[in-house]
Each structure stands twice: as structure tokens, then as C-alpha cells.
């Protein structure tokens, strides 16, 4: 699927490690650690995004794609790139052991929680990074490959530059907060494409939804693996400074897209935005293959988030939002009771918002109910605010299935249809019968 591109290997592993040692020796002293590598504009929205065609590298959508941002745990994609590189070159085996040093064990959550001196296999370590986003394991792997995290981080920056990540600098392997650790949506898309292209034999690690470690089942943070058809990776991330980040990829009809969303105000908003961008991207590519000239920007409802992070996560580097976490107490292959937070239980107990009127907006008529439901899902994803108060329904009549958003007031229905038509989505307003 990918174009045959030979990754730059101008620096051999030994030479790269020597340069990394030199770079780390010249790194800023701790007193200057608060000085950012690139100055972030505090008044600029945190949100940035990009969508690219994984095969050609063509940019299908970008918004502030070159503005500096904190990558948070999406950083671990580069840590995993160098891990996969070591595996491919025979410097590392999946059965090798990764020992937890005192420094690695002392990292902030999210973490796997091994004690100093304890160890895990490389295979387990990779899953701990892709599924759990374990900061302690990322540091332990960095030390295993380069002797120290600072040397490894310098090597991460060098490899990133070789791959074309022109606006990125790494100072740690985990993505934990550091004002010097900077990347962009475009650079992270370049990295995501590179890891698929260069190490396809290991890409499936990003699709792992959970794994069992020492008798405990560990479930991942990437909810789109369960909720979006064709979505198969890559990595979530979160810090207070970055907001909720996600680098993701999906395949439909033989096409693969890569998306990066940075600075989301919540996990739900981030995930919905990623799904929206990718679904619209697939639709645009399909229409372009038939000769239509269109873009993602022309077909998506752009809801640029602003304001503070909603319910900040208690975990840095990655993690779900406090108060909305569901934890399985048993292996999912042997289901047991679930622990649900009081906040979520209260939210579930609230009555659903009732429709406010008797008007409807019809967004298409189809030959099957499944196609009508797919259209409703697509429109709901693109225009979440416009149809937020409506109830999605499929009305069948005479062998035709009509996709409708019902329960709107007259003004709300007219406004919704106007917004849809402005983005070239056909619709019609239906008055009460």
C-alpha cells in the first residue's frame, strides 16, 4: 500500500548512539530546563490537526499543523520506532528482558508499577507502552537501548530529523511534561506513517486492546479501536499542558488515512473529532475518485474547541478523565462485575434530553435501513452541534428508508438544514404532519 521509500539510514546505530551521547552531554543544564525549544503562544488555541493519505503522503486537511505543541504520550510512537528498529536490526529480541531501574520505577503515572530490579520481556514492554502507555516502561526501554534516557532522547531527535520531523525535539521517552519537548501535528503524522512503512511486521501492536500481565488484565485507552470500523491504531496522549491528543489510522475500501488531533478538551471530543476527520476523509477520497473536486474542509463542521480542559485526567502522559473511567475487574474473556465511578453513575441516572419540537430534517432516502443509519451516523459525526438536540430515526415507506433528525422546533430544523446545505449536504425540512 505504501510507496516504496527507503528510510534514511545515514547514521548507523553505533554512530547514532555516539552522536546521541555527544548531544546529551551538550544538553541544557537543569536550570534552563524551563526554557522551551520553540515558544508556544499561550493565546493560541491548543487544538491542531492533520489528515494525510498514508500511501502518498498527501495532506488532505490541516489546521495549525505546523504550530508547536506538546505531544504527551504520542511521544511513545518514537520510542517504539527505535524499539522496532532495534528488533529489525537484531540488537533486540522479543524475549529479551527489560529491567526496571530506580529512575524508571519512579516515573509518574500512567505506569505498570514494577519495582526496581524487576523485569519484563520486550514483548510485554511493547504492549505496556501501546496499551497502558506506561511511562516507567518507556524509560526502562530507553535505558535498555541507549544506556540512559537522555542519550535515548537525543537519538529520538536525530531519527526524527532523518524522517523529516523538522519541528520536533525530544528530551524524554515517555511524553511526561517538559517544556522543551515539542512536536507538531504534521511531524507526528510523518512519524506515524514512517512506523507503518518501515516496520509493518510490528504495527499490529497498536491494535492490541488489552493484555494480561501477571494475572491482571490491562485495558487500553484507545476507545476508537472498539467504536470505529477500520480503525487500528496508533496512540493516545494527555498532559495538563497538551490537552487530549491522538494519532490514529484507519482503513476503508483499500485506502488508509492517518490523522493527528492535538489539544482536545476531553477524551470524547478528541475521539469524535478524529472519527469525524477520518470518515470525512474517506468520503472525500471516494468522491474524488469519481471526478468530484472537494476537500475535507469543505465537508466538515469545524468546531474549534476553546476554554479549559474538561475534567482533567489524574494521570500525566496519558490516561482517561477522572470521574468517567470504567475499570474491568475481570478478564473480558471471563466477564465479571464492573466498577463504575459515582460521577458516571450519576450521569447515567439523569433522564435523557427530550426533543423540543415536532419538526424534522431529512438527510436522505435510501434502499436499505443500514445505509440510512450510516448516513445519520455520518451527519451526526460531522454536525454534532447542529443536530445535538435531535433524535436520529429511520422512517420506512414504500421500500425507501428515510434518514431523519426528529423532534426539532421549526427554527432549529431550518437552521440545521441551512448549516448542512452550506457544507453541500442535501437535506429538507419536514413540518409536523
Is residue 339 part of the annotated active site? The answer reads no
Q: Taking a C-beta distance cutoff of 8 angstroms, is the pair 152, 126 a contact?
A: no
Q: 257: closest CA among 56, 52, 5?
A: 52
Q: Measure the CA dihedral 328/332/337/338, to 10°.
A: 30
Is residue 133 part of the annotated active site? The answer reads yes
At which residue does the C-alpha cell 498532559 appear?
239
Q: Taking a C-beta distance cutoff of 8 angstroms, is the pair 138, 76 a contact?
A: yes
H/E element, 251? strand 243-252
Separation between Cα atoms, residue 75 and residue 26, nearest integer Å: 22
What is the full DSSP assignment across 401-415?
Answer: EEEEEEEE-HHHHHH
How do beta strands 338-340 and 326-328 pair? antiparallel
Separation between Cα atoms, residue 181 and residue 174, nearest integer Å: 10
Residue 132 gets which letter from DSSP? I
* 3-class secondary-structure state, position 207: helix
What is the full DSSP assignment across 368-405?
Answer: SHHHHHHHHHHHHHHTTTTTTTPEEEEEEETTEEEEEE
φ and ψ of 406, to 5 deg: -110, 170
Separation between Cα atoms, residue 285 and residue 120, nearest integer Å: 43
Q: What are the helix (H) ranges across 167-320?
A: 185-198, 224-227, 267-289
Q: 404: closest CA among 355, 359, 353?
A: 359
Residue 123 gets which letter from DSSP? H
First to last CA, the chain: 51
H/E element, 160? helix 149-163
Q: Which of 76, 111, 132, 235 is catalytic?
A: 76
Is residue 377 part of the annotated active site? The answer reads no
Q: Which of 73, 183, 266, 360 is catalytic?
A: 73
Q: Which of 133, 266, 313, 360 is catalytic?
A: 133
Known catalytic residues are 73, 76, 133
Amino acid at each position: 500500500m505504501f510507496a516504496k521509500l527507503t528510510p534514511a539510514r545515514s547514521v548507523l546505530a553505533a554512530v547514532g548512539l555516539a552522536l546521541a551521547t555527544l548531544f546529551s552531554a551538550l544538553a541544557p543544564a537543569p536550570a534552563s530546563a524551563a526554557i522551551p525549544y520553540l515558544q508556544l503562544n499561550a493565546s493560541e488555541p491548543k487544538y491542531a490537526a492533520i489528515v494525510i493519505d498514508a500511501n502518498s503522503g498527501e495532506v488532505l486537511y490541516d489546521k495549525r499543523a505546523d504550530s508547536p505543541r506538546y505531544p504527551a504520550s504520542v511521544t511513545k510512537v518514537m520510542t517504539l520506532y527505535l524499539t522496532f528498529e532495534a528488533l529489525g536490526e537484531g540488537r533486540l529480541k522479543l524475549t529479551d528482558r527489560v529491567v526496571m531501574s530506580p529512575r524508571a520505577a519512579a516515573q509518574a503515572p500512567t505506569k505498570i508499577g514494577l519495582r526496581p530490579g524487576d523485569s519484563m520481556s520486550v514483548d510485554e514492554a511493547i504492549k505496556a507502552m501501546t496499551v497502558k502507555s506506561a511511562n516507567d516502561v518507556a524509560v526502562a526501554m530507553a535505558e535498555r537501548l541507549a544506556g540512559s534516557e537522555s542519550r535515548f532522547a537525543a537519538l529520538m531527535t536525530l531519527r526524527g530529523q532523518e524522517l523529516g520531523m523538522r519541528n520536533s525535539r525530544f528530551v524524554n521517552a515517555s511524553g511526561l511534561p517538559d517544556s522543551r519537548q515539542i512536536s507538531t501535528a504534521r511531524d507526528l503524522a510523518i512519524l506515524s506513517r514512517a512506523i507503518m512503512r518501515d516496520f509493518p511486521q510490528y504495527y499490529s501492536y497498536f491494535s492490541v486492546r488489552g493484555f494480561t500481565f501477571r494475572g491482571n488484565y490491562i485495558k487500553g485507552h484507545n476507545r476508537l479501536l472498539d467504536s470505529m470500523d477500520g480503525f487500528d491504531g496508533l496512540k493516545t496522549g494527555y498532559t495538563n499542558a497538551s490537552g487530549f491528543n491522538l494519532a490514529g489510522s484507519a482503513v476503508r475500501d483499500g485506502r488508509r488515512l492517518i490523522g493527528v488531533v492535538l489539544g482536545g478538551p476531553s477524551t470524547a471530543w478528541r475521539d469524535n473529532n478524529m472519527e469525524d476527520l477520518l470518515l470525512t476523509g474517506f468520503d472525500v477520497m471516494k468522491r474524488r475518485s469519481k471526478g468530484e473536486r472537494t476537500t475535507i474542509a469543505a465537508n466538515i463542521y469545524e468546531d474549534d474547541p476553546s476554554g479549559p480542559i474538561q475534567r482533567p485526567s489524574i494521570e500525566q502522559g496519558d490516561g482517561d478523565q477522572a470521574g468517567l473511567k470504567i475499570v474491568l475487574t475481570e478478564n473480558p474473556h471471563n466477564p465479571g462485575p464492573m466498577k463504575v465511578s459515582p460521577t458516571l453513575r450519576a450521569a447515567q441516572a439523569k433522564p435523557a434530553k427530550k426533543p423540543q419540537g415536532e419538526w424534522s430534517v431529512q438527510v436522505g432516502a435510501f434502499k436499505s435501513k443500514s445505509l440510512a443509519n450510516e448516513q445519520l451516523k455520518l451527519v451526526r459525526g460531522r454536525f454534532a452541534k447542529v443536530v445535538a438536540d435531535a433524535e436520529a430515526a429511520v422512517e420506512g415507506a414504500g421500500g425507501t428508508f428515510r434518514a431523519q433528525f426528529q423532534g426539532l422546533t421549526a427554527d432549529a430544523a431550518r437552521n440545521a438544514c441551512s448549516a448542512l446545505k452550506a457544507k453541500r449536504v442535501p437535506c429538507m425540512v419536514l413540518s409536523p404532519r
